[in-house]
Amino acid sequence: MKSVAILGGGPAGAFAAEQLASAGLRVVVFDEKLAWEKPCGGGLTYKAYSQYPFLIENSTPKRLVHETVLSAPRGGEATLKLTDPMVIYSRFDLNRMLLERAERAGAQIEKARVLKMTRQGAGWQLHTSGGAASADFCIVAMGARNPLREVGTELKPRDTMTALGYYVPGDQERIDLQFLPGLEGYIWIFPRCGHLSVGICGKGEPAAALRQRLERFMMERGISRKDGTFYSHLLPSLDSGSWQANRVAGDGWMAVGDSAGLVDPLTGEGLYYAIRSADLAARALLAEVGDLAAKLAHYRALLRHDFAADLEFGAHLAKRFFVGRILCGAVTERMVEFTRRSPRFSLIMQDLFAGRQPYAGLKRRLLRNLNGSLYDLGMSLGFARVVPRKSPGCQNP
Ligand SMILES: Cc1cc2nc3c(=O)[nH]c(=O)nc-3n(C[C@H](O)[C@H](O)[C@H](O)COP(=O)(O)OP(=O)(O)OC[C@H]3O[C@@H](n4cnc5c(N)ncnc54)[C@H](O)[C@@H]3O)c2cc1C
C-alpha cells in the first residue's frame, strides 16, 4: 500500500495523516472546512497531554484550568482542585495546529467536500467537490455526522447525545459542571481564551427541551445570551449493547474518532479518543502483520485492548450514574456531597477527571474506600462524637 486518503481533517484525521505521512506513505487529507470552530468544549485531560505532550508543549493559545465546581440541585456544590489541569483550546486553534503538523510531516491538505467513495480494483475512487481522486486505502474521519452510510459506525438514536450551547463573552477561572434531575447528561461552563462556552448534552431528550433547560440555567446564573453565538452538534455516546458490533473497519478502510463512535459515554470526552484511535489505526496499517485483513483485525484488537472495552464498561454505568439513585438520593447528588465532604472520594474524582482512573477498576476502588469515605462524611456532618475515632477504612487510602 502506497497511498492513503484521509476523509476529514479534524483531530482524528489530522493526527492519522501526520503519523502515516511521517512513515513515508503518500497521504492526502480532504476536509470541507479545514480549521474551524467545531462546536466543542475543547477540553483536553491529563490522559491526553501526558501521552501526547505536544498537546500542551506548544505556542498555540490555550487555557489551563485548575479547578472544577460540581453541582446538583439537592447536592449543593463541591470544588475539585485539579492537580493536573484541564487544557482548553479553541477548536479552530487546535485543528489548525494538528493540520499544520500533518502538513509538515508531508501530508497534502485539500479543502474539498467528500461526496462519495467507490471501489476501484483493490483501491478507491473518491468523488469530491474538487474533482476525482484515487487511493489504495481510506481512513474515515468525518466526525459524528459522517455522510457516507457504508463506512464507519452506524449511529442509532440510542447511540448519540445532543449537545448544544452558546459561546458568550465572559471569563472565569474554573470549570462548572451542573447535573439536573432526570437528565442523562449535564450542563457545563468552560472558560476559553476570550469567552465562555456554556452548553448542555443529553440523551433521549429533544434538542428544544435541552435548550430550555440550558437557558433556564443561564438565567439563574445571570449569564446573558444577548451577545452569544448558538452552537449545536451530535455527540456519539454508544449504548452498552452497541460496542461489540461497532463498525470500526472494513474492506479497504478504517474509521477513527467520532466516525467510529469513540467517545466516552459518561463524560463526552472525544478529543483524546480521536487522537488515540488515529494513532492506533496508523500503527495497525504500518504493522508487519500480514495482509490487509490482518491489519484490520489488528486495529480492532488494539482499540479494544487500549480503551474501547473500558468505554463499553462506562456505557453500562452511564444511565445508572446520571439518573440512578443511591442512599435515598440521586447518584449525582450523592457524588457532589461525597466530593465536598470526603477527601478520599475527592481524590477518586480527581483521578476520574484526569483520566487516570479507568471505569473497570472504579467499583473496586470505591468499595475499598467506602468505609473511609463514609467516615469522612460522618465527621464532616459533625458526628465526631458518635463515629469512632479510627475507622478501619482509614488504613486504605
Ligand atoms: C458540544 C460539544 C462539546 C464537546 N466538548 C468536548 C471536550 O471538551 N473535550 C473533548 O475531549 N471532547 C469534546 N467533544 C467531543 C469532540 O468534539 C469530538 O469527539 C472530536 O471533535 C472528534 O474529532 P474527529 O476528528 O473524530 O471529528 P471532528 O472534529 O468532527 O472532525 C471531522 C472533520 O470532518 C470534516 N468533514 C465532515 N464531513 C465531511 C465531508 N463530507 N467532506 C470533507 N470533510 C468532511 C469536518 O469539516 C471536520 O473537520 C465535544 C463535542 C460536542 C458536540
pLDDT of residue 298 exceeding 80, the answer is yes
Cα of 86 from ligand 1 centre, angstroms = 19
The residue written with cell numbers 484541564 in the block is 86
pLDDT of residue 391 exceeding 80, the answer is no
Which residue among 31, 197, 198, 264 is best mutated to probe the pocket of ligand 1, counting the most ligand atoms within 8 A of its Cβ? 31
Cα of 144 from ligand 1 centre, angstroms = 7
The residue written with cell numbers 470541507 in the block is 32
Residue 89, C-alpha cell as written in the block: 483550546
Using a 6 Å cutoff on CB, does residue 198 contact ligand 1?
no
Q: Which CATH architecture has domain 3-42+90-153+245-314?
A: 3-Layer(bba) Sandwich (3.50)
Give dist(CA 366, CA 84) in Å, integer: 21
Please tell me the predicted confidence (pLDDT) of residue 329. Answer: 85
Q: Are 125 and 239 in contact (CB under 8 A)?
A: no
Nearest CA to ligand 1 atom 26: 257
The candidate with the shortest Cα–Cα distance to 149, out of 41, 50, 247, is 247
Query: Where residue 7 falls among pLDDT bands split at 50, 70, 90?
Result: very high
Cα of 231 from ligand 1 centre, angstroms = 13
Above pLDDT 70, what percent of the chain?
A: 93
Q: Identify the sign of the CA torsion 165, 166, 170, 171.
A: positive
Domain boundaries, the chain: 3-42+90-153+245-314, 157-236, 325-395
* Helix axis angle, 331-341 to 362-380, nearest 10°: 60
pLDDT of residue 381 exceeding 60, the answer is no
DSSP state of 11: H
Using a 6 Å cutoff on CB, does residue 39 contact ligand 1?
yes
The residue written with cell numbers 483485525 in the block is 297
The candidate with the shortest Cα–Cα distance to 170, out of 216, 229, 212, is 229
pLDDT of residue 393 exceeding 70, the answer is no
Please tell me the predicted confidence (pLDDT) of residue 386. Answer: 40
Residues with Cβ within 8 Å of 129's Cβ and at least 6 positions away in sequence, in order, are 32, 112, 113, 115
Please tell me the predicted confidence (pLDDT) of residue 376. Answer: 65
Cα of 271 from ligand 1 centre, angstroms = 8
Q: Identify the sign of the CA torsion 368, 374, 377, 379.
A: negative
Please tell me the predicted confidence (pLDDT) of residue 322. Answer: 92
Give dist(CA 373, CA 335) in Å, integer: 11
Using a 6 Å cutoff on CB, does residue 26 contact ligand 1?
no
Q: Are 114 and 29 in contact (CB under 8 A)?
A: no
Quick one: which atom of ligand 1 is closest to the CA of 199?
1
The tens digit of pLDDT for each residue in 317-340 reads 998 899 888 888 889 999 999 999
Please tell me the predicted confidence (pLDDT) of residue 390. Answer: 41
The tens digit of pLDDT for each residue in 59-77 reads 999 999 999 999 999 889 9
pLDDT of residue 130 exceeding 90, the answer is yes
Strand order in the sheet with 63-72: 43-44, 76-88, 63-72, 175-178, 185-192, 195-202, 160-169, 229-236
CATH number of 157-236: 3.30.9.10
User: Could you tell me the pTM of the whole model?
Assistant: 0.93
Using a 6 Å cutoff on CB, does residue 43 contact ligand 1?
yes
Using a 6 Å cutoff on CB, does residue 29 contact ligand 1?
no
The tens digit of pLDDT for each residue in 27-44 reads 999 999 999 999 999 999
Using a 6 Å cutoff on CB, does residue 141 contact ligand 1?
yes
